[in-house]
Amino acid sequence: MKISQNPSEMQTKYLQLKDINGMESKEKRRQEKIETKAEDENERKKVVVDVGCGTGILSVFCAQAGAKRVYAVDASEIALQASEVVKTNKLADTIIVLHGRVEDVEIDEEVDVIISEWMGYMLLYESMLGSVITARDRWLKPGGLILPSNATLYMAPVTHPDRYSDSIDFWRNVYGIDMSAMLPLAKQCAFEEPSVETITGENVLTWPHVVKHVDCYTITVLELQSISTRFKFQSMMRAPFHGFAFWFDVEFSGLEIFSASNDAPLAIESLNNHATDGSKRKKRANPSEALVLSTAPEDPPTHWQQGPFVVWSHLTFFSPILFARVLTQSNTLIYFYDPIEVEQDQVIEGSVILSQSKENARFMNIHLEYASGGRSFVKESVMR
Ligand SMILES: C[S@@+](CC[C@H](N)C(=O)[O-])C[C@H]1O[C@@H](n2cnc3c(N)ncnc32)[C@H](O)[C@@H]1O
């Protein structure tokens, strides 16, 4: 009996058919997997709001880092340039520029991330932290991320003989002429108002004191109206004590939610690549470790080397233009009219109150009381 004309041919056909079916279902499974992965990835992508986007550069970084959508909000006309930047970089599908105040614009969804370059001189002067608080309370998802996540304002007593000499001692002998009659006026001109300048670690007399720690997740507008603290320092050297320096650092914690869930490079990491000469950044071996940027005086004295700071006084972290301006120059100095000679271990104590001016909400009043070597002083100044 002829069972088959050609069994081996039938078998081959059967096998081929089986194989095609197998391939089809394999392909289907592969396709389903791709679709699920794409959905998952899309699901994991973040919605971001850039509070006070300015030129829009942070929004662009976020889009490049894989954000699903970025709302770039700015109250001023710069929003028009931000729109152009977005178009030029072909990111109009991802970045929505909103020209208006954060307090007034509408965003019809909750956001995963708030990013903002809100810091001002002395951290809080003319700062936009109030608008970040508004954005947080209006749109941030429970468990969402705020970048930077917290900030700390520090103060320390400083010695700055060169600065004093250039501004004051100069008048004692000008081309052989005794112009010391100018001294009171020169002191007033040079030291009445806070001055924004760069100092080094050699100017600092001892470890700093924390004036205010800002947790961006919990801070309230009310808390910002007046900040006060008592301090007690012990000078680490014998030196003329010329005044107090203030500086801040900002911390970016929670970045692992990007690295853990998204293959795209971190906005933060890609920004770091833009650091210009002289910038230093902390390398994060562990992505869950917070990234800290500081305006602390560079080159702290040797006794500081094991200190808690990551020192990056020239870091251009966000916008090469604007952030650099704030970060590189933001040691705020409050000088006395006359220096106090302090010995090693001499105690310097007192209090400082930073408050919003009633005369102009943009101004900051600084009330400083300090005592050392049995003498006490008060210095009032206005940051305007
Ligand atoms: C320091 S700049 C930000 C610069 C920006 N990150 C960049 O790199 O160009 C602060 C911006 O916040 C904007 N701004 C201030 N208050 C605001 C508010 N209440 N709502 C929206 N934008 C605000 C200002 O117009 C300014 O452009």
pLDDT in tens, 214-253: 999 999 999 998 999 999 999 999 999 999 999 999 998 8
Tally of structural domains, the chain: 2
Mean pLDDT across the chain = 81
- Distance (angstroms) between ligand 1 centre and the Cα of 53 equals 5
Q: Is residue 270 part of a domain?
A: yes
Residues marked as catalytic: 117, 126
Q: Which residues line ligand 1 (CB under 6 A)?
A: 52-55, 57-58, 73-76, 78, 101-103, 117, 128, 131, 318-319, 322
Alpha-helical runs (H) found in 71-169? 78-88, 129-139, 161-167
Q: Is residue 68 part of a domain?
A: no
Q: Is residue 45 part of a domain?
A: no
Q: Which of 50, 51, 53 to mutate to test the pocket of ligand 1 (most atoms within 8 A of CB)?
A: 53
Tokens 């030129």 correspond to 55
Which pLDDT tens digit goes with each residue over 267-289? 444 333 333 333 333 434 455 56
pLDDT at residue 359 in the model:
81
Distance, in Å, from the CA atom of 291 to the CA atom of 263, rounded to the nearest integer, reads 19
Note down the domain range covering 315: 150-162+191-383
- The reply to whether 358 and 222 lie within a common domain is yes
Distance, in Å, from the CA atom of 280 to the CA atom of 291, rounded to the nearest integer, reads 12
Percentage above 90 pLDDT, the chain: 59
Lowest mean pLDDT among 56-60, 79-83, 140-144, 316-320: 316-320
Residue ranges with strand state E in 166-270:
195-197, 209-215, 226-234, 239-252
Alpha-helical runs (H) found in 140-285? 161-167, 183-191, 221-225, 256-261, 267-272
Q: Is residue 131 part of a domain?
A: no
56 pLDDT higher than 70: yes
Percentage above 70 pLDDT, the chain: 73
Q: Is residue 229 part of a domain?
A: yes
pTM of the model: 0.78
345 pLDDT higher than 90: yes
**Measured from the CA of 74, which atom of ligand 1 is nearest?**
22
Distance, in Å, from the CA atom of 169 to the CA atom of 182, rounded to the nearest integer, reads 10
- The reply to whether 373 and 225 lie within a common domain is yes
Q: Is residue 171 part of a domain?
A: no
Q: What is the CATH number of the domain that holds 332?
A: 2.70.160.11
Q: Which of 78, 104, 128 to mutate to test the pocket of ligand 1 (most atoms within 8 A of CB)?
A: 128
Q: Is residue 109 part of a domain?
A: no
- Distance (angstroms) between ligand 1 centre and the Cα of 51 equals 7
Instruction: Label residue 363 by pLDDT band (50, 70, 90).
Output: confident
Element (H, E) at 38: helix 7-44
CB neighbour list of residue 381: distance below 8 Å, 6 or more residues apart: 192, 193, 194, 334, 365, 366, 368
Q: Is residue 208 part of a domain?
A: yes
Instruction: Label residue 41 by pLDDT band (50, 70, 90).
Output: low
pLDDT at residue 1 in the model:
45
